[in-house]
Structure 1
Amino acid sequence: MEPQACDIAFATMVGDEPVFLPIWINYYARIVPKAQLFILVDGLHRVIPPEAEGCQVIRLPSVTPGPGWDVARWRMISLFTNALLQRFGVVVFNDVDEILLADPAQGGNLLGHIGQAREAGVLSPFAIEMLHRIDLEPDPLDPAHPILAQRRFGRINASYCKPCITARPINWSIGGHYADYPTLNLDPALFLFHLRFVDHDMLRGRQASRQAMMQPGAAKGAEVAGAGWLKGAQDMTDFLQSFVDAGPPLENDFSFGWQRRRIIDSWHHDAEAGIWRHDRLHNRKTYRLPDRMADQF
């Protein structure tokens, strides 16, 4: 293990997560000991996969979703991360369906890039939202095999250029998309791959589970957990179909120069929310993943 790995912790929060949690654990356990992987479990009744053995699993009593539920959850996550910073130099917190990757074309040294937060304070990756191109990838996802070998298409979604790598106390907004840290450090080699949309059937099932968590008559939208929780299973099918309708995938080198510049140039303070943020940037353009990334996870 590299000496700098002893100083880095990875953390996430899950409910029942039989697919993405093993992927998350197996990926980061390649670079740090499992004892440096922290898993907050939302609910004492949750089933934890065997891959979690050796990780720091912290079971919490569940709270019924309602107004302010996700605000309180992310406040807790922020405080937990800040507590970990008393023992670790850098903490990485992501949702379990988000994987960080250092571009192989720039050395592929994930730990090295994460470690730069010690000087920078907080780092953000560039974000690629992986998609199931249902017209080009007919087979269901097999989680036992590498994801990027089965799903080769994604889109830019700047909302996932999250300030998720921190060496300073931080307070995140809902979803961890933004924070109160005033400086944007968009790492030129780091990518965040958002995996929520990698399989059509899995996506429909996940959305149905989310809706089942909501109380009958509960407040909607951001009052509970964001507008994404309100969409139904058919909305997910329609979403994936919209990328098919937008046309064939584009080929490029994945440098995304002007898109990175737009994110950086739009950085501003949202005084009402008390956070620093960049503008949104997403559309229905699909990009083919470069071959150099296909074997990464």
Structure 2
Amino acid sequence: MTSSWSLRRRRSLADEARATTTAPPRIAVLTIARDEGEMLARWVAHYGRAAGHENLIVFDDGSTDGSTDDLPCTVQRLPGFRKGNFEAGRMSLASGVAQGLLGIYDVVIFTDVDEFLVPDPARYADLSDYLASRPERVIAPFALNVVHHTTIEGPLVSGKPIVGQRAYAQFAPLMCKPSIKRVSAAWTNASHGIKAPYVPDPGLFMVHMKFADLDLLRRQADRRNQLAMSVGRGKGSSWGRSGDDLAGLLTATTAAAAASTGGDVPEFDPTSVLPARLVREEDGVHRAVGPGHIDNLRNQPLLRIPERLHGIV
């Protein structure tokens, strides 16, 4: 549930933002989706509030669940990525479209449908206010993998914000990726890298929902695992795991992590992380570094999501 403090604070910041004479940046937001009905509607609603639905583009990679029908934004249906060229094709598409859009827009954002960028509400009114205040050419967030603590949290209630229903997360260094840019530098490494320097900003959060619900994780993992087996997508990633495998891992690791704290789970503190250590440069590519999803889930400590983020996504 959203705290009264955070509601009052966000309203105050919004009033301050409206009082400024600075023109808001023109923001375009992109994603590529396939059968992501559970999260896509939330993605469209979240970024539609931030940038305007008319400035969102969803590239539909062959969905069969009807999730891209009748969306209040632009939907471009793709003929399909070439076999064995999924990630390279995704990055080429996202980077090429972003380069063109930067001739019109001030900022382009690219995320997966389960990745939600949230400026710290203690400092910014909303994403437009944040971007008006941050002139960096490339911006990356501090990422939190939201987790379903199945011992004490039930299934998600549809139509209500996830953060608040879910109170726990793990810091995810690899997800502190360059999702926002004002330059044509290409994204690489499944969007975890870019050909331009950046340092992740503790004033911007990404809440990543891959592990936010046990049943959703199981269904989505099975869909991706089928693609991994049939057309070779996601080789060497969690796409090679079945839904039951990942669901069991989530249940076991959250229970073990909670037990290790004795029930006293600390709140995530962005000041505890050194941003420069989250990025490595090699051959002109600057990329987020850290463990993959499975190792992150197994080894990162359990943290409470800051209360000021509850109710936003």
Alignment of structure 1 residues 189-268 onto 2, 5 Å: 189-216=203-230, 224-240=234-250, 241-246=252-257, 247=259, 248=261, 251-252=265-266, 254-259=268-273, 261=274, 263-265=275-277, 267-268=279-280
1:74 counterpart residue number: 91
1:110 counterpart residue number: 127
TM, length-normalised to structure 1: 0.86
Per-residue Cα deviation, 1:55-104 (whole angstroms, up to 9, x for no partner): 1111111236x423222222211111111111101011100100011112
Alignment of structure 1 residues 42-121 onto 2, 5 Å: 42-43=61-62, 47-49=66-68, 52-53=71-72, 55-63=73-81, 66-116=83-133, 119-121=135-137
What amino acid is the match of 2:75?
A: V
Cα distance, 1:110–1:51 mapped onto 2, change above 3 Å: farther
Identity rate, percent = 26
Which structure is higher in helix share? Answer: 2
Asked if 2 retains the 8 angstrom alpha-carbon contact of 1:8 and 1:89, the reply is: yes
Query: More deviation in 41-50 or 165-174?
Result: 41-50
Asked if 2 retains the 8 angstrom alpha-carbon contact of 1:25 and 1:51, the reply is: no
Asked if 2 retains the 8 angstrom alpha-carbon contact of 1:141 and 1:150, the reply is: yes
2:282 counterpart residue number: 270
Per-residue Cα deviation, 1:95-143 (whole angstroms, up to 9, x for no partner): 01000111122234321223355x3100011000000011111x21123
- The CA deviation at 1:214 is 3.2
- The CA deviation at 1:14 is 0.7
Asked if 2 retains the 8 angstrom alpha-carbon contact of 1:16 and 1:48, the reply is: yes
- The CA deviation at 1:159 is 0.8
- The CA deviation at 1:203 is 0.5
Query: More deviation in 279-288 or 230-239?
Result: 279-288
Q: 1:203 aligns to what SS in structure 2? A: helix
Match of 1:126 among 142, 148, 173: 142
1:33 counterpart residue number: 52
Between the aligned partners of 1:265 and 1:184, the Cα distance in structure 2 is: 11
- The CA deviation at 1:186 is 2.0
RMSD over aligned CA atoms reads: 2.4
Between the aligned partners of 1:266 and 1:194, the Cα distance in structure 2 is: 17
Q: How many residues align?
A: 284
Query: More deviation in 193-202 or 101-110?
Result: 101-110
Structure 2 residue runs without a partner (length 5+): 1-16
Structure 1 residue runs without a partner (length 5+): none
1:149 counterpart residue number: 164
